[in-house]
């Protein structure tokens, strides 16, 4: 007898129709689960090679700034989310000393909760995003590289760099079907006190299984230009982008 659940497996990475051996999972399904769990743990614990990442961006002709949050260790980052939401004193001083003209967009990159994601997808995604914003004739500030960050720190950085719009690209919390997913959070008029309701989020950027780099870049430019024109982002900014623009 054919089980209709098996035909659905081709449409999802969720663990459905795993079968059973008595009252337990089959060995193959159990080993696959354990492998996914190990990949998720590695994604969280793996250090981000910040120096190599920065050199790769510079080789592409991108200006970078290496910053630090108030996080003292990876354990501190996981146990104290608040420390990842603010800059270290040295980084704040560095940004205060910079003489920067106002810019349209500042991009921030962090390993967040998945160093695997930013190592695998960060460079090609950034290349597409920078090209898309340049094609839209928007000025881009230095790309800020910030390990162990939380999304809210983007408000502080955007304010200090006189940005009209700030985007943080960050490793998402790994799950048991995806340990390498990137998220991108866009905020208009970054300032202290902003809430998540004032941000727009793109999730699951990880081709070929998730959102493609070029599609993510096109979506960010669409949302960003509308935010700059309308004067707001977040729940008030509706994603009504025509599907054809993603092709």
- Flag whether pLDDT at 136 surpasses 80: yes
Query: What are the pLDDT digits (tens) for 165-221?
Result: 999 999 999 988 889 999 999 999 999 889 999 999 999 999 998 999 999 999 999
Residue 84 to residues 110, 148, 154, 178: CA-CA distances in angstroms? 10, 6, 10, 23
**Is it the case that residue 240 has pLDDT exceeding 90?**
no
Instruction: Give per-residue pLDDT as tens, 22-74.
Output: 888 888 888 888 888 898 898 898 999 999 999 999 888 898 999 999 999 99
Residue 20 pLDDT level (bands cut at 50, 70, 90): confident
At 244 the pLDDT is 67
DSSP lists the bridge partners of residue 186 as 167, 200
Instruction: Compute CA distances 89 → 14, 69, 93, 136, whole Å.
Output: 43, 8, 6, 35
Q: Where are the domains of the chain?
A: 49-246
Helix (H) or strand (E) holding 163: strand 163-171
Q: Indicate if the pLDDT at residue 1 is higher than 70.
A: no
Mean pLDDT, residues 67-88 taken together: 94
Look at residue 161 and give its three-state secondary structure. coil
99 pLDDT above the threshold of 80: no
Quote the CATH superfamily of domain 49-246.
Answer: Ethanolamine ammonia-lyase light chain (EutC) (3.40.50.11240)
Alpha-carbon distance of 174 to 115, in angstroms, equals 10
Q: So what's the pLDDT on residue 150?
A: 97
Please tell me which residue, 43 or 11, carries the higher pLDDT value: 43
Q: What is the pTM of this model?
A: 0.90
Distance separating the N- and C-terminal Cα atoms of the chain: 41
């Amino acid at each position: 007898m054919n089980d209709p659940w098996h035909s659905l497996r081709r449409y999802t990475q969720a663990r459905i129709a795993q079968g059973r051996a008595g009252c337990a999972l089959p060995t193959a399904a159990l080993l696959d689960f354990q492998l996914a769990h190990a990949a998720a743990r590695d994604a969280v614990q793996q250090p981000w090679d910040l120096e190599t990442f920065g050199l790769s961006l510079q080789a592409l002709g991108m200006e970078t700034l290496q910053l630090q949050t108030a996080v003292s260790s990876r354990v501190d980052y996981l146990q104290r989310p608040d420390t990842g939401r603010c800059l270290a004193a040295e980084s704040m001083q560095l940004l205060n000393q910079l003489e920067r003209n106002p810019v349209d967009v500042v991009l921030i990159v962090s390993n967040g909760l998945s160093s695997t994601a930013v190592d695998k997808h960060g460079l090609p995604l950034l290349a597409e995003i920078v090209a898309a914003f340049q094609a839209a004739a928007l000025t881009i500030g230095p790309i800020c590289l910030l390990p162990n960050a939380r999304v809210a720190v983007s408000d502080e950085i955007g304010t200090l760099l006189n940005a009209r719009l700030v985007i943080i690209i960050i490793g998402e919390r790994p799950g048991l079907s995806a340990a390498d997913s990137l998220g991108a959070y866009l905020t208009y008029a970054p300032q202290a006190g902003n809430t998540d309701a004032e941000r727009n989020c793109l999730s699951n950027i990880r081709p070929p299984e998730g959102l493609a780099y070029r599609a993510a870049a096109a979506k960010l430019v669409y949302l960003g230009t509308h935010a700059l024109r309308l004067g707001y982002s977040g729940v008030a900014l509706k994603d009504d982008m025509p599907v054809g623009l993603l092709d």
